Amino acid sequence: MSAIDYAEKIPNNVNLVGDRTLQRALEHWQPHFLQWWHEMGPNDFEGADVYLRTAISVDAQGWAHYGKVRMPDYRWGIFLADPVAERKIGFGDAMGQPAWQQIPGEYRSTLRRLIVTQGDTEPASVEQQRLLGHTCPSLYDLRNLFQINVEEGRHLWAMVYLLHAYFGRDGREEAEELLARHSGDADKPRILTTFNEPISDWLSLYCFTYFTDRDGKYQLKSLAESAFDPLARTCRFMLTEEAHHMFVGETGLSRVVKRSLEVMKEVGSDDPDRIRAAGAVDLPLLQKYLNFWCSSSLDLFGSEISSNSAANFANGLKGRPDEDQYEDHGLREKTLNLVTPQGASDVPMLNALNEVMRESYLKDCEIGVKRWNRSIERAGSQFRLSLPSSRFRRSIGAWAGQPVDPQGNLMQRELYEKSLASWIPSEGDKAFVHSLMQKVIEPGRMAGWIAPPERGINNLPLEYEYVKLH
Ligand SMILES: [Fe+2]
Ligand SMILES: [Fe+2]
């Protein structure tokens, strides 16, 4: 196991002291990062002591240290998972050859684009979430938000390390650009649409961490298969941190459902107006948020048919998540039956890999929905939550701009436009959700619209003061 050097300005397990040029370049970028954090991060909470975990090793057992930290003092560093001895390329046309420790010239620009696109999402999400601290439903939740924020900051470091270490001057320029684009900025927005959507309430945050961080999981898993070994190792360790982000989404939405069911019981009705009057989120409203964030995240996988994804796979740059689970790693002979508005047809599997990934992502998303529905059923309600069809409200790919209902049926455009407000949050819905967002900062207390979590962080009681505000 490679130890992490904390005596260094930049904690790392990549032997940065052994490469003075790289070390200097990253130490030059560091104050720019801190300035970005100070301007675009959760800067109203810079004085708060937050109970955070910090990576101290890449060992699966006990990789993190917990303690109170001011966020600007967080030790953002560069951590790669341990190398696999004599690792071989696991898919594509070069399958079985040694993994690359350097980038082959012909794949340089494609790999740079993949790394920049992934890297861009990390600071984007910090920017999207920067004001949520003012409306936290509890100190426990506030701490989780900040934990996610500092780790997304570290994920930016992970990608910037690769850019600096393997892409020379181009890479250094890209690293600066990662701090210059901003979420929702009219002139210099973030690269992907979902990362320009505002997140101004906690229901959206839970949906974002459930759906969009899970897209992140799938992207990281497919890059963790890459023939470019430093990228694979970087992504493997990022996945360790990413699991917590999805945990926040899944348990956050579970707690919203739980509270909703309690209120339904208290008022003896499932009438949305009465649930709302009692200060909770009615289940049909939650369904609209699921429809919005799920469909928005589905676009992140790209077009159903993509020659880029075919080339990336064939060349060994980007595999399928959990490539091991498949038998055929070349895919030259396989086809997939794809249904588009023009009808069904068989397309080469290599060109349909975005769709393959989207389908396995949706299966992963279903797990939480099934759990929520079991608790709804146990509470005696007929209501069921569901994921929208992958054809619904798409902006990219074969179904882009098509008038399709959440069940996936094509319909008349006029009716579609009229119905949209009943499928995704309307202005009134958003105003209601915003009205619920009142800050609760007494240790152990929860806002009225969300149930307490089952347990605290790192075996601490729920009443622990997870964030000490000054
Ligand atoms: Fe991340
Ligand atoms: Fe994340």
CB atoms under 10 Å from CB of 197, counted, come to 19
Torsional sign, CA 123, 128, 133, 138? negative
- Whole-number Å distance, alpha carbon 127 to ligand 2 midpoint, is 13
Q: Which ligand sits nearest to residue 122's alpha carbon? A: 1
Q: Which ligand sits nearest to residue 159's alpha carbon? A: 1
- Whole-number Å distance, alpha carbon 129 to ligand 1 midpoint, is 13
pLDDT in tens, 314-366: 999 999 999 999 999 999 999 999 999 999 999 999 999 999 999 999 999 99
pLDDT of 6: 66
- Whole-number Å distance, alpha carbon 243 to ligand 2 midpoint, is 8
Q: Which ligand sits nearest to residue 223's alpha carbon? A: 1
pLDDT in tens, 223-271: 999 999 999 999 999 999 999 999 999 999 999 999 999 999 999 999 9
pLDDT in tens, 276-321: 999 999 999 999 999 999 999 999 999 999 999 999 999 999 999 9
Residue 61 region by backbone torsions, left for phi larger than 0, else alpha for psi between -120 and 50, else beta: beta
- Measure the CA–CA gap between 58 and 2, rounded to whole angstroms: 7
- Whole-number Å distance, alpha carbon 408 to ligand 1 midpoint, is 30
pLDDT of 57: 75
Q: Which ligand sits nearest to residue 121's alpha carbon? A: 1
**Per-position pLDDT tens, the chain of length 470:** 456 666 689 999 999 999 999 999 999 999 999 999 999 999 999 999 999 999 877 777 777 899 999 999 999 999 999 999 999 999 999 999 999 999 999 999 999 999 999 999 999 999 999 999 999 999 999 999 999 999 999 999 999 999 999 999 999 999 999 999 999 999 999 999 999 988 999 999 999 999 999 999 999 999 999 999 999 999 999 999 999 999 999 999 999 999 999 999 999 999 999 999 999 999 999 999 999 999 999 999 999 999 999 999 999 999 999 999 999 999 999 999 999 999 999 999 999 999 999 999 999 999 999 999 999 999 999 999 999 999 999 999 999 999 999 999 999 999 999 999 999 999 999 999 999 999 999 999 999 999 999 999 999 999 999 999 98
Strands 343-348 and 467-468 come out as unpaired
pLDDT of 184: 97
- Measure the CA–CA gap between 15 and 12, rounded to whole angstroms: 7
- Whole-number Å distance, alpha carbon 151 to ligand 1 midpoint, is 7
As given in the structure block, the two tokens for residue 71 are 């966020």
- Whole-number Å distance, alpha carbon 143 to ligand 2 midpoint, is 15
- Whole-number Å distance, alpha carbon 346 to ligand 2 midpoint, is 35
pLDDT of 1: 46
- Whole-number Å distance, alpha carbon 404 to ligand 1 midpoint, is 31
What does residue 231 show for φ and ψ, rounded to 5 degrees? -65, -45
Q: What is the pTM of this model?
A: 0.96
pLDDT of 5: 66
- Whole-number Å distance, alpha carbon 377 to ligand 2 midpoint, is 31
- Whole-number Å distance, alpha carbon 300 to ligand 2 midpoint, is 14
pLDDT of 470: 84
133-160: string of b/e by CB count within 10 Å (b at 16+)?
A: bebbbbbbbbbbbbbbbbbbbbbbbbbb
Q: Which ligand sits nearest to residue 237's alpha carbon? A: 1
Q: Which ligand sits nearest to residue 249's alpha carbon? A: 2
